[in-house]
């Protein structure tokens, strides 16, 4: 059959298109998470190592809310295992993290559409560990949880071994229609889950709505973000001396650095983890917050809970922030936050002026005692 040259070209092109379509469709079937053309992919890499540490739940060795001794029978220094972040694949340089993050692992951030690669090394001598994320989309190998049948490749990383987890922030990882523009999720080790979270292997994930992340992943629509986790670490097999009623691994006001500037829009991410005693009511003095589009000043947290609330820091001063459960107050589940007085005009969250400029303008109110300890 004789065909004109342009018809042959057309037929060839059609065949080529068909082959390409089938190939791409096939690929997308097997990795649907990378084939949404509406989503521009940003890859974010984290280098995180599980390490044995000695942790002091009260570095000031004082109850900083009342300038008194840590009450008996509590002992405050214990062995923990933590997720510690490094700057790159050499695992040679520690990545600094805010003081208020305390015992928690590094903040893993993503915007909807991003892929996160967590290069995890287990350098603890205490056993096999891993990293299991809430919220992200993952396949079996990247679930980071060990159970039958057929646990994935990342379920259990032996001491001295490493694994790179690949987690994807799809639409269902990000905020829902009624949520704020960013959400908090947990990550933690998940082989013997209850032992490993109690050891200290737990940390936060923050995922923002598409278009709401700065280059560093922080949420564009707020001036400042804080994460606080209410966890009772059981350090002495139930003996009271080792019941550490902590916020981010600190008790009796020893959690420092929850500081902001008058007028700022502040997003708080609240987390709960632990046992049946971990029923917490995180209560803010000096402010109210918006939670689930309603106003409150106390947030209920159960083990595994994740809550995101917004506040306007419009009441300068140092204010108590604590669990409202009576036994937990007695055991030191108490902290403070400080709203520093503003001396320069307010910088909106969406403005191009940096947050660092705002910090320079801040006048510390009454946080000196908290910085230095009791007089
Ligand atoms: Cu509590």
Q: For the chain, how many residues are written? A: 375
Give all domains of the chain, ordered by start, each with its CATH number: 43-372 (2.60.40.420)
Sign for the CA dihedral angle at 250, 254, 256, 262 comes to positive
CA of 279 to the centre of ligand 1 (A): 6
Decide: residue 226, CB within 10 A, 0-12 exposed, 13-18 middle, 19+ buried: buried
Which is more confidently placed, 316 or 371? 316
Helix, strand, or coil here: 360? Answer: helix
What is the CA(301)–ligand 1 centre distance, in A? 8
Question: For the segment 128-168, what is each residue's pLDDT rounded down to a tens digit?
Answer: 999 999 999 999 999 999 999 999 999 999 999 999 999 99
The yes-or-no verdict on residue 286 having pLDDT over 60 is: yes
Nearest-angstrom CA–CA distance, 246 and 90? 33
User: How many Cα neighbours within 13 Å face the side chain of 267?
Assistant: 22
Tell me: pLDDT of 76 over 70. yes
344 confidence band (pLDDT: 50, 70, 90): confident
High-pLDDT (> 70) share of the chain, %: 81
pLDDT band of 343, cuts 50, 70, 90: confident
At residue 14 the predicted structure's pLDDT band, cuts being 50, 70 and 90, is low
pLDDT beyond 60 at 242: yes
Output phi, psi for 104, to 5 deg.
-65, 150
Model confidence pLDDT, tens digit, residues 27-60: 443 344 444 444 456 999 999 999 999 999 999 9
> What spacing in Å lies between the alpha carbon of 324 and ligand 1's midpoint?
6
Question: Ligand 1 mean position to 87 CA, how many Å?
Answer: 35
- Neighbour-count burial for 28-65, b at 16+ CB within 10 Å, e otherwise: eeeeebeeeeebeeeebebbbbbbeeebebbebebbbb
Give mean pLDDT, residues 111-135: 98
pLDDT of 80 over the 60 cut:
yes
Q: How far apart are CA 173 and CA 305, in angstroms?
A: 16
CA 190 to chain centre: 17
Is the pLDDT at 21 greater than 70? The verdict is: no
Average pLDDT over residues 232-245: 97
- Compute, in angstroms, the gap from residue 328 CA to the centroid of ligand 1: 5
In this prediction the pTM is 0.85
Average pLDDT of the chain to the nearest whole number: 88
Cβ neighbours of 330 (radius 10 Å): 11
């Amino acid at each position: 059959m004789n065909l004109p040259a342009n018809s042959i070209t057309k037929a060839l092109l059609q065949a080529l298109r068909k082959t390409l379509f089938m190939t791409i469709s096939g690929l997308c079937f097997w990795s649907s998470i990378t084939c949404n053309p509406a989503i521009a992919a940003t890859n974010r890499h984290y280098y995180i190592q599980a390490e044995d540490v000695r942790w002091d739940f009260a570095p000031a060795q004082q109850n900083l809310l009342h300038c008194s001794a840590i009450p008996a029978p509590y002992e405050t220094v214990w062995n923990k295992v933590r997720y510690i972040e490094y700057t790159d694949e050499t695992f040679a340089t520690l990545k600094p993290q805010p003081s208020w993050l305390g015992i928690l692992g590094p903040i893993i951030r993503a915007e909807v559409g991003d892929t996160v690669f967590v290069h995890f090394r287990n350098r603890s001598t205490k056993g096999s560990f891993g990293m299991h994320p809430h919220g992200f989309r993952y396949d079996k190998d990247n679930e980071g949880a060990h159970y039958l049948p057929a646990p994935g490749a990342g379920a259990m990383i032996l001491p001295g071994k490493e694994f790179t987890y690949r987690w994807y922030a799809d639409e269902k990882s990000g905020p829902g229609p009624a949520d704020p523009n960013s959400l908090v999720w947990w990550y933690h080790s998940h082989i013997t889950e209850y032992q490993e979270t109690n050891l200290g292997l737990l940390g936060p994930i923050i995922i923002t709505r598409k278009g709401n992340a700065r280059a560093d992943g922080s949420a564009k629509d707020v001036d400042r973000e804080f994460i606080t986790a209410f966890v009772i670490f059981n350090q002495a097999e139930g003996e009271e001396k080792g019941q550490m009623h902590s916020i981010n691994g600190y008790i009796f006001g020893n959690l420092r650095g929850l500081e902001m500037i008058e007028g700022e829009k502040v997003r708080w991410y609240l987390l709960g983890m632990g046992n049946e005693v971990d029923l917490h009511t995180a209560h803010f003095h000096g402010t109210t917050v918006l939670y689930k589009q309603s106003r409150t000043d106390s947030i209920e947290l159960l083990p595994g809970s994740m809550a995101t609330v917004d506040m306007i820091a419009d009441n300068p001063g140092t204010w108590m922030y604590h669990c409202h459960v009576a036994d937990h107050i007695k055991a030191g589940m108490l902290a403070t936050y400080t709203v520093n007085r503003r001396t320069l005009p307010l910088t909106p969250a969406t403005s191009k002026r940096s947050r660092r400029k705002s910090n320079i303008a801040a006048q510390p109110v009454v946080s000196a005692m908290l910085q230095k300890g009791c007089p």
